[in-house]
Amino acid sequence: MRIGEVAAKAGVSVRALRYYEQQGLLHSSRNPGGQRRYRDGAVERVRLIQQLYSAGLTSRTIREVLPFADSGGASPELLELLAAELDRLDRQMTDLQGVRKRLHDCITEARNHDGTGSPS
């Protein structure tokens, strides 16, 4: 698959794919014309990379995780790193739930008042 096809199917930019390659997260081969060619699983790999970035993992951590995403095995050091990331995500989710509740309460309060700031 060519770079534009992978980018379109994965919903990322061509520039993002090049960056992932620079970071060692994604690999391609080159055809005789020098164009990048990706394997069939590249779209799924890019989506996983995007999810891991969205979760706040660094390129370095993602680079360590990706080989084990396929094989299912992991070193004790990687397991420790993943457990720490999971704890961080749990704390972040708790914080976000608190923010969500506050926003919900603000909206509810605003709807219960008319434009003068007095209850309707």
Could you read off the pLDDT of 62-72 as tens digits, one per residue?
Answer: 998 888 877 77
Residue 2, token pair as written in the block: 């060519």
**Tally: H helices and E strands in the chain:** 5, 2
Q: Residue 119 has which token pair? A: 């209850």
Contact 49, 20 (CB under 8 A): yes
CB atoms within 10 A of CB 20: 23
Query: Mean of the per-residue pLDDT values for the chain?
Result: 90
Q: How many CB atoms lie within 10 A of CB 21?
A: 15
The pTM assigned to this predicted structure is 0.72
